[in-house]
Structure 1
Amino acid sequence: MRKLAQIGVWIWIGLSASYALAYPDYISLNGLWRYKVMVKPTPLMQLYRFHGTEKTMKIPTNWYLAGIDHCGVVWFQRSFFLPPKYKGKRVFVEFKGIDYFADIWVNGKFVGSHEGYFQSFCFDITDFVLWTRKNTITIRVDSPFEPIGEYWSLRKTLIKGVLNHHDTRPGGAWSVKGQDKNSGGIWGDVNIVVYDKVRIKKVKITPVLKNKALAILKVKFVLEKFTDEDRFKICLCVLPFNFEGKSQTLQQEIEQKKKGKEYVFTIKVVNPKLWASWDYGAPNLYYLKAKVFSYPGHCLFTKKYVFGIRSIKVDKNGFWYLNGKRIFLRGTNYISSCWLAEMTKKRFLKDLQMMKEANINIIRVHAHIEPEMFYQLADEMGIMVWQDFALQWGYSDDKEFRAEAVKQAREMVNQLYNHPSIVAWCGHNEPPWDAWWMKYKYDDYEPQQNKILDESIYAALKEEDQTRYVKAISATEEHPWYGWYSGTYQDYARPSKTPLVAEFGAQALPDLVSLLKIIPLKTLFPKSEKDWQIWEYHNFQRHETFDLAKVPMGNDILAFIANTQNYQAKLIKYAAENLRLQKFHPLGAIFQFMFRETWPSINWGIVDYYQAPKKAYFSLKHAYQPLLPIARLQEKHKEIEIFVVNDLLQTFNLQVKWVVFDKDNKILALGEKAVNIKENSLQKVDTVKVRNGEKKVIVNLYKNGRLVSFNSYKWAF
């Protein structure tokens, strides 16, 4: 009893003390930094000496956003002071994102280096800082081009995905200017982080659903100590983040001799509230409050980690299950920007709100990694995420590159692990060994290029995360591109070859207000080859638009805008509806390409760079309604088939009404039928015989006499 009383006092003292002074503590280094652009190459580790006369740049930013169109090295420097209260503590410098190579010095002494654009990373600078006077931090940032040449893009060595090679970036994918407007810079927050005697790092929270009434949380982390003390108390408390509920607490005394040690604790959560996508429930979130106490009760560390409890599974047929319920994925592809520093919370929030309003339940982050804010908002808004690694098309097969790619793939998983919105990892988009079309693009194409690379990354992703679906690649076969790169958009009515369609879409011009900000006025309606070069630099695809899709240009720019937007809208509506008619036979997921344009350009976005919707946005919004009537023309048999698709976890008793008009609005056929549409199902309602000629079809869904959904078509046959 006496021992228990002592423990109780210790806990009480510790919990009280934690509110007096909590670590880690932060000093922001965001703001004005001096910088120097290096036009000529300099020795790698030769420190640039700032003179105090250099220009300043507001950090965080990509240097292109600051008006510097430069590839290569830029030096940065700023000063900071450490308050006396931190003396005796451990001091780290933390970076939320530097693109791409970074070398760091503090007070003229080299601290460390880093490679990669998306990772958060830090260095212990305790032994480098001064306590009585000004400190300086100097950073050499190098964001180079891949070696320029005719085939520069086949064997890339920078792991930046779409940020340095893609159809949607400045110059396009296959131009010698395709690396313009470099993404380099200190684009994420910079902080001094001060710890007491310990810190917790590498936190991974893994929920295991036992049944509806119980979830087991496996909490894994590394405790690093900066003291000779070896007795500590761990307190882990699980609390609701965005709903009302009870907390669950685990307390454990530990003895640690080593500087760093990994721990795994399990916590029971009774009657867990599950995270779900917005259309399948509520995005319930918890947070883990982790504390570490010394003996006899001083709080050394406290931090919160938000997570969700949910399960995700993909079966052998390629069908997805969220929390044990089969779900049809209505997705889009997304690249927020070529320069990630411009993505504010407000801008992300508008994108995600528009996606949700368009009935999108999953986002494919296309061949790159987004800033942390994106994933936080996806968690909170209940939108699932398929997360690609930052590999797009061809890369080096050198062992050194493979090792770096595997390392960064592991870092991606560990950095984003606790976000419940992420339901899948994918290693590589259209690698050479899967992209047969590359043999027409590159003279030195090798059919097995990057096969070993992708096998290695796949194994690493699987090892780091056994809870999510892992795809080795996003395959060319899953990107049919009918009506743009091959065939016609009517080919989407053909049976899909795969249970997943990861890309479908077409280009369209933005509205005139946006286009005037993108294309110079004198080339607004292109006539000469020089004019077209400007358009193609801004991603417009002439051959595909005019020769393959057969979109007419029209007589003026307004007609040109209307024609491209009408075609994009028509293709997307047709594709989305006909792919949904293959729900679970064999399709389980579809992804439109692309949601928004990533820079002031003309490409596949259904929303332009300025976040103004194109006509196709409304087509996708309509075609992605969870409850939707669909009419399909069987021209050969002169009949119209009426269907209802229901993606919700609810059975509906509905009245389906339809009417068929001729070109003069004369009614040719009408009908209605009561249907009981089961949850998460597709049901054929009826078949209507028709004659040749122009037809207009309207199909309405009513529930208890109230219109709940509708669809309309115009056909000529």
Structure 2
Amino acid sequence: MNQQQRSAPHDDLFKAIRLTGNWQVYSIPLDQLFSPNDTPLTTTQSLYNVPECAHLQTALYPDRPYWGNHLRKINEQAWIYHRTFQKPEGPYKRVRLRFEGVDYFAEVWVNDVFVGQHEGHFAPFDFDITAILDDLEAGDEVVITVRVTSPWDAPNPSGTYPSDHIVRHLVKGLYEHGEGVIPPNVNPLGIWRPVWLLLDQGISIDHMRIRTELNGHVDVRLRVHNSTSQPWQGQLQLQVSAHNHDGEGVTKHLDIEVPPSTHTIDHTLQIPDVRLWWPWDQGLPNLYQLDATLSNQDQAPTAHKRAKFGVRTVHLERTPQRFTYWINERPVYIRGISYIPSLYLSECTEATLSRDLALAKDANLNLLRVHVHVSPSELYDLCDEAGMLVWQDFELNWIHDSSLAFEQRARDLQHDMIGMLQNHASIMTWACHNEPTMVLMRRQNLEYHPDPALYADAQQQDPTRPVFICSGQIEEDWQRSGDSHSYYGAIWSSRYTDVYKHYPLINTEFGVETPAALETLRAYPDTWQRLDHLDEPTIDSIWAYQAVLTQYHVEHFRRLRSLSCAGYIHFWLADLVPQVGCGVLDAHRIPKGGYDALRRASQPLHIALEHDGRQPKALWIFNDTQQAYQDVTIRWQIKDQHGQTRHEGETSFYIQANASQEVMPVQWPIARRNCAEIRLSVHTADGDLLCENDYKRPFQPLKRPRGYPWKFNRYLGTKVFDRDDAPSLTNETVNPLVKLLPLRLREPLAELMLRQQLPLKFISWVAQVVDFVTGVKKTAPTQYKNRGAS
């Protein structure tokens, strides 16, 4: 196989060889014990050549990667990856085999010797293979064999599709996420990031942790490993330099001794005249670079580690009445959106990630919620550079195994996530679990395992950031969470204006599913066969509904900044597949109706009308910038259905910096049926336009699309709106008592249950009673067994 010598990421003082070229891949039964000696490569019936960084679904079925049983069958097997390389020439004392990412379980052999295993799709891992290579001559062939699996969970006999028809046993968010996010037969599998040989002199800097204070203090912790049998003596140089600005840096030299094994080294640096990192709408995202270099007693560099970081602090002020995020001791209002860059992360490139980041920034958003997964490392680097905040979810979504064994697996992987990402200035919050109470009476994850342990671990590992034990419908638990998901006008109720009576502390999900553009749908036969009832006028009307729902929710949450709310996170930036989803962009990045509405409503300086869908209440100014505006003129104009002006006026106002303000209550002398359009604008004393806004028939709100949210297609795993032959999603329940109810009662009852607005203590008590009656144990044994090396 090809070998490519070049520097490994952030480390350029030892020899790194990237193993390029295809893998040879074949399948075996999932439950078959495996050893390379038992299944010679020459005896396999179907041998595939797979690119070095690709999920197997995209490699085997590049034209059909989204739907179908052919995808499900991939995960019903184990896949054996095989490649060779030549033993590299020295001099070196240690050789490690590093995998940047394998999805999901990996067991590794080198020259038929089992060297180790790993769980999790996102964390790099390595194995010391020095002893194996020491028995070979330079240029001899070395064989790598990797058994890769990402198995399906067993069906849950008492569950309901798509929320708990399975109980999840993988610490992985990117599978079985129904209702327009991840199709039902997609569970990515494969070696999807590069593989390296790392050659060194037995000493390495394996990890670097950086914490900063606003006065320029930089606390550095290094994890250094000495794989030799003798103490290593030399010098450590720590050098901080400006990365994207012209500020000063600092350099320190320390004489050190590292005994055999792994050790930590702590030191504090002081940056003079420090430049702070800010989100893009608050200032400049100033970054520094820290280089840590170990040099031996002959002054020869031996090991090196590099990391970029920003000097900034983040704090979430939490009370039962109000949440406020503080960045660098300044209140910052969150205008965010949820994001997964691709259904298969192996398809992400720096160019595609940059494109999406630009689309989010163009929509005036200052935060990405990296939803239920860890993204490729390039995304976090780009967010650091762009000044885009990141809310980082862990890999748990909906209902998981509640055993202690699963809890430990999850804790290990969350520790890996925080350790990998904590130097990124852009990351401002960790969230341990998304919607663990998606099913109202299933609370074992939240109340027993694994969520309390994950929350405690995250707080201990990184006390510099806020931690949420979970997201969604846990507003009463404001100390550990306190956020809300609000799907009024979507899956919760028929009117989007119902959110008017909701006062969240922070909202981390809202939105509505809409179809992709007609040209996108028609390009995929699997989609078009099931969505061909959606003509262009129908799609336009659904997009219009997404637009008004989005605008109404955003302006409602921004108004609540003055009372309680720290911000909002829309669900979702871009659909992962070309069908029906919550994205304001479709999978081809064609803007839907919600994108422009989100962009306009999220302007840092914005004027809005408060109304409840029936009558006007007040005019508001939202200013998330640090600039105040004196003597501005606010104007309004109301037109009837014939385009005639029925009422207009203006007033002077002082706009405060970084605040939401009520300008004035309004009681306009015009009947709601004659209010066809309202135009608002803000002008400087010189007459320059600062911002503007408009509303079409605000007191005659659009109705929720026909057939939504209950008409459903199981093959696509998504809503299909008003299709005659589509069943109701409420038919997916296995509870015979529920099925006795007529459909016209069952659907509104389901919407009521999804809102989960009963008192938390009552829900918890009822859930405990249900657990007792049904015999559910707090520490139910895990159903998953990984069968690998014999």
- Pair in the same fold by TM > 0.5: yes
- Which residue identity is paired with 2:583? G
Partner of 2:622: 645
Partner of 1:58: 51
Partner of 1:145: 152
Aligned with 1:685: secondary structure?
strand
Deviation at 1:319, TM superposition (A): 0.6
Q: Which of 239, 247, 250 is matched with 2:249 structurally?
A: 247
Deviation at 1:153, TM superposition (A): 4.4
- Which residue identity is paired with 2:169? T
Whole-angstrom CA distance in 2 between matches of 1:486 and 1:521: 26
Deviation at 1:83, TM superposition (A): 3.3
Partner of 1:30: 20
Aligned 1:261-660 pairs, distance under 5 A: 261-316=263-318, 317-432=322-437, 435=438, 437-439=439-441, 445=442, 451-477=448-474, 478-487=484-493, 488-496=495-503, 498-520=504-526, 523=529, 525-526=531-532, 557-633=535-611, 639=616, 641-653=618-630, 654-660=632-638
Partner of 2:227: 226
Q: Which of 688, 691, 694 is matched with 1:712 structurally?
A: 694
Q: Which of 694, 702, 712 is matched with 2:674 structurally?
A: 694
Deviation at 1:688, TM superposition (A): 4.4
Aligned with 2:59: secondary structure?
coil
| Structure 1 residues 470 and 634: CA distance shift in structure 2, 3 A | closer
Deviation at 1:230, TM superposition (A): 2.7
Whole-angstrom CA distance in 2 between matches of 1:400 and 1:463: 21
Whole-angstrom CA distance in 2 between matches of 1:181 and 1:379: 31
Deviation at 1:468, TM superposition (A): 0.6
Whole-angstrom CA distance in 2 between matches of 1:635 and 1:185: 50
| Structure 1 residues 60 and 698: CA distance shift in structure 2, 3 A | same
Deviation at 1:369, TM superposition (A): 1.1
Q: Is the 8 A contact 1:657 1:700 kept in 2?
A: yes
| Structure 1 residues 470 and 448: CA distance shift in structure 2, 3 A | closer
Q: Is the 8 A contact 1:275 1:310 kept in 2?
A: yes
| Structure 1 residues 200 and 683: CA distance shift in structure 2, 3 A | same
| Structure 1 residues 639 and 469: CA distance shift in structure 2, 3 A | closer
Q: Is the 8 A contact 1:101 1:113 kept in 2?
A: yes
Say how many residue pairs are matched. 647
Whole-angstrom CA distance in 2 between matches of 1:325 and 1:413: 25
Partner of 1:89: 93
Whole-angstrom CA distance in 2 between matches of 1:114 and 1:399: 19
Aligned with 2:544: secondary structure?
helix
Q: Is the 8 A contact 1:646 1:682 kept in 2?
A: yes
Deviation at 1:448, TM superposition (A): 6.8
Q: Is the 8 A contact 2:176 2:186 kept in 1?
A: no
| Structure 1 residues 122 and 489: CA distance shift in structure 2, 3 A | same
For residues 357-396 of structure 1, give each alpha carbon's deviation from its aligned partner in whole angstroms, at most 9, with x where no partner exists.
Answer: 0011011111111111111111111100000110001111
Whole-angstrom CA distance in 2 between matches of 1:22 and 1:372: 18
For residues 216-270 of structure 1, give each alpha carbon's deviation from its aligned partner in whole angstroms, at most 9, with x where no partner exists.
Answer: 1110011112332431210000011111222201110012223221111110111
For residues 675-701 of structure 1, give each alpha carbon's deviation from its aligned partner in whole angstroms, at most 9, with x where no partner exists.
Answer: 210101122223242221221110111
Aligned with 1:337: secondary structure?
coil
For residues 111-135 of structure 1, give each alpha carbon's deviation from its aligned partner in whole angstroms, at most 9, with x where no partner exists.
Answer: 1100111111111111122342111
For residues 85-106 of structure 1, give each alpha carbon's deviation from its aligned partner in whole angstroms, at most 9, with x where no partner exists.
Answer: x243311111111011101111
Deviation at 1:149, TM superposition (A): 4.7
Whole-angstrom CA distance in 2 between matches of 1:149 and 1:615: 38
Q: Identity across aligned pairs (percent)?
A: 27
- Which residue identity is paired with 1:270? P
Aligned with 2:692: secondary structure?
strand
- Which residue identity is paired with 2:216? A
Q: State TM-score, norm by structure 1.
A: 0.87
Q: Is the 8 A contact 1:516 1:524 kept in 2?
A: no
Deviation at 1:164, TM superposition (A): 3.6
| Structure 1 residues 403 and 560: CA distance shift in structure 2, 3 A | same
Partner of 2:735: none
1:136 aligns with 2:143: yes
| Structure 1 residues 195 and 220: CA distance shift in structure 2, 3 A | same
Q: Is the 8 A contact 2:507 2:569 kept in 1?
A: yes
- Which residue identity is paired with 2:513? Q
Aligned with 2:58: secondary structure?
coil
Deviation at 1:397, TM superposition (A): 1.4
Deviation at 1:45, TM superposition (A): 4.7
Whole-angstrom CA distance in 2 between matches of 1:455 and 1:40: 33
Whole-angstrom CA distance in 1 between matches of 2:179 and 2:344: 16
| Structure 1 residues 520 and 614: CA distance shift in structure 2, 3 A | same
RMSD after superposition = 2.1
- Which residue identity is paired with 1:119? A
Deviates more, 1:665-674 or 1:182-191: 665-674
Aligned with 2:57: secondary structure?
coil
- Which residue identity is paired with 2:172? K
| Structure 1 residues 566 and 189: CA distance shift in structure 2, 3 A | same
For residues 271-291 of structure 1, give each alpha carbon's deviation from its aligned partner in whole angstroms, at most 9, with x where no partner exists.
Answer: 111111100111111111110
| Structure 1, gaps ≥5 residues long | 1-20, 172-177, 440-444, 528-555
